[in-house]
Structure 1
């Protein structure tokens, strides 16, 4: 697979990825190498990576506990302290091996340690391959509020090896699939159509679907690196989806949702809103709702849950001047950004989801 040129770095795939990594290590004089993992990627992914790395550098492994609950500034402080204790300097290289939590947090750690050291991301989940791999977003959560603290900063490269997907559960695969569905809905109608009958997909060709998803996100990000305009399209499903994800994360009575599970709900809700703003047809909405509900189990959202979810919308990063901004679809494959939506319509979308 041909490497994809992103903003000031390349996304490399499968065997080409490791050749690019080892070439980079030979051509750059790094003082030492740190690999940031969580406990799951330490067990399942690191044993594959270590024998492939060709270097005489001292390699140190830094592990933290897996999960969104640990994507916070406290974990960053612990890692900054470990880097300091182990003698990291501005010529150190950090490799982040893991899903979106590891690559987001690890990239933020590297971007801020000694005002920035080089880093490389190796995403190991479907979600991180098709989403976190492109765009230069780094950061952590603030309490239960998603990705409130962070900076834009690009890696030296991103390495995508789809063999890591063999370590994932079906739930994790479905979580990543949500972002791929989103890419079709906002940008590429024929791509979306490929997912309408999952049974017909030849998984031997799944690498090509991942490649196209990365390509779509990259085409959008290149036009708008810091999310002032068209990059907001990527937030479709995320305005309500992030609020739902945050609410379920903090609630003591709810089972925490995976990112893609929450975004799947958000895409149905925001498609309903698109319908009632006359941006999509009834047939298009029915197609979207049916396709997504065929993949994801319906999540029970009680009447008492809706008000606290709505309150979390206030903290959405896309808000400007105190108003909530939605990215809605204008027909399948097209997007309309900066859309204001009244609360009554949002409440109606929840009612429709539950029906």
Structure 2
């Protein structure tokens, strides 16, 4: 697959990625190398990654416990302390090998340690390949509130090796598929239509679908690196999706949702809102709802769940001047940003989702 040139860094694929990495290590005089992993990728991915490295640098592995609940400032403090104890300096390099939790947190750790050291991301989940690989967003959660603390800072490069997908469960693959569906809905109708019937997808060509998804996100981010305008389109499904994800994460009576599972619900809800605002047709809405529900299991919402979810919207990062901002689709493949939505319409969307 062809290398994608993002904003001042390359996204390399499969074997080309390791060639580019080793060339980068030769050309830059790093003092030492730190690889950040979680407990899953340490076991499942690091044994594949390490043999590709061609370097005489001292390599230290820093592992933290897997899970969204560990994507917090306390974990960062622990890793900053380890880096300090192991003699990391401003010429050290960090390589983050893992899913979105690892690349988000590892990128934030590197971006803030000694005011910033170089880092490289090696996303190992489908979600992180098509989402976290592009855009330079690094950060951690604040309690149950998603990605409240962070910075925009670009990696030196990204390596997307689709062989790591073999380590994923079906649920993890579906979670990543949600972001790919989103890219079609907001930007490319023809791309969306390739997912209308998963039985017709030739998974031998799945690398091409991943590559197209990364291209779409990169095009949007390149136009608006710091999310002042069109990059807000990437928030489709995420305004309600993040609130749902946070609520299920903090509620001990609920089963924690994967990111893509929550975003799938968010896309259906926000498509209903788009329908109510006459931005899409009923036929388009039915196609979106039917397609997403054919891939993802329904999530059960009780009556007393909805109000706490709405309260979480107040903390959404996309809010401006106290107003909740939605990105809604204006026909499949197009987007309309900065849309205000009243609570009554959100409640109607939940009722329709459950029907």
Give the TM interval when normalised to the shorter protein.
over 0.9
- Could you say what secondary structure the match of 1:323 adopts? coil
Q: 1:130: which partner in 2?
A: 130
Q: 2:198: which partner in 1?
A: 198
Q: 2:74: which partner in 1?
A: 74
Query: By how many angstroms is 1:227 displaced?
Result: 0.1
Q: 1:63: which partner in 2?
A: 63
Residues 188-235 of structure 1 show CA distances to partners (whole Å, capped at 9, x for unaligned) of 000000000101100000000000000000000000000000000000
Q: 2:165: which partner in 1?
A: 165
Q: Distance in 2 between matches of 1:66 and 1:329?
A: 34
Query: By how many angstroms is 1:112 displaced?
Result: 0.1
Query: By how many angstroms is 1:186 displaced?
Result: 0.1
- Could you say what secondary structure the match of 1:95 adopts? strand
Q: 2:118: which partner in 1?
A: 118
- Could you say what secondary structure the match of 1:300 adopts? coil
Q: 1:319: which partner in 2?
A: 319
Q: 2:91: which partner in 1?
A: 91
Residues 234-286 of structure 1 show CA distances to partners (whole Å, capped at 9, x for unaligned) of 00000000000000000010000000000000000000000000000000000
Query: By how many angstroms is 1:348 displaced?
Result: 0.3
Query: By how many angstroms is 1:306 displaced?
Result: 0.1
- Could you say what secondary structure the match of 2:121 adopts? strand
Q: Distance in 2 between matches of 1:230 and 1:52?
A: 38
- Could you say what secondary structure the match of 1:146 adopts? strand
Query: Is residue 219 of structure 2 the alignment partner of residue 219 of structure 1?
Result: yes
Q: 2:153: which partner in 1?
A: 153
Q: 2:337: which partner in 1?
A: 337
- Could you say what secondary structure the match of 1:62 adopts? strand
Query: Is residue 249 of structure 2 the alignment partner of residue 249 of structure 1?
Result: yes
- Could you say what secondary structure the match of 1:196 adopts? coil
Q: Distance in 1 between matches of 2:177 and 2:22?
A: 30
- Could you say what secondary structure the match of 1:271 adopts? helix
Q: Distance in 2 between matches of 1:180 and 1:222?
A: 18
Q: Distance in 1 between matches of 2:343 and 2:299?
A: 21
* Structure 1, unaligned runs of 5 or more: none
Query: By how many angstroms is 1:2 displaced?
Result: 1.1
Q: Distance in 2 between matches of 1:305 and 1:339?
A: 24
- Could you say what secondary structure the match of 2:102 adopts? helix
Q: Distance in 2 between matches of 1:51 and 1:244?
A: 40
Q: Distance in 1 between matches of 2:199 and 2:221?
A: 31
Instruction: Report the TM-score, using the length of structure 1 for normalisation.
Output: 1.00
Query: Is residue 293 of structure 2 the alignment partner of residue 293 of structure 1?
Result: yes
- Could you say what secondary structure the match of 1:139 adopts? strand
- Could you say what secondary structure the match of 2:348 adopts? helix
Query: By how many angstroms is 1:27 displaced?
Result: 0.3
Q: Distance in 2 between matches of 1:28 and 1:320?
A: 41
Q: Distance in 2 between matches of 1:222 and 1:264?
A: 25
Q: Distance in 2 between matches of 1:217 and 1:301?
A: 31
Q: Distance in 1 between matches of 2:51 and 2:288?
A: 44
Q: 1:9: which partner in 2?
A: 9
Query: Is residue 178 of structure 2 the alignment partner of residue 178 of structure 1?
Result: yes
Query: By how many angstroms is 1:350 displaced?
Result: 0.4
Q: 1:278: which partner in 2?
A: 278
* RMSD of aligned Cα (Å): 0.3
Q: Distance in 2 between matches of 1:5 and 1:277?
A: 37
Q: 1:302: which partner in 2?
A: 302
Q: 1:267: which partner in 2?
A: 267
- Could you say what secondary structure the match of 1:148 adopts? strand
Moved over 4 A (4+): none
Q: 2:49: which partner in 1?
A: 49
Instruction: Report the TM-score, using the length of structure 2 for normalisation.
Output: 1.00
Q: Distance in 1 between matches of 2:51 and 2:203?
A: 28
- Could you say what secondary structure the match of 2:137 adopts? coil
- Could you say what secondary structure the match of 1:150 adopts? strand
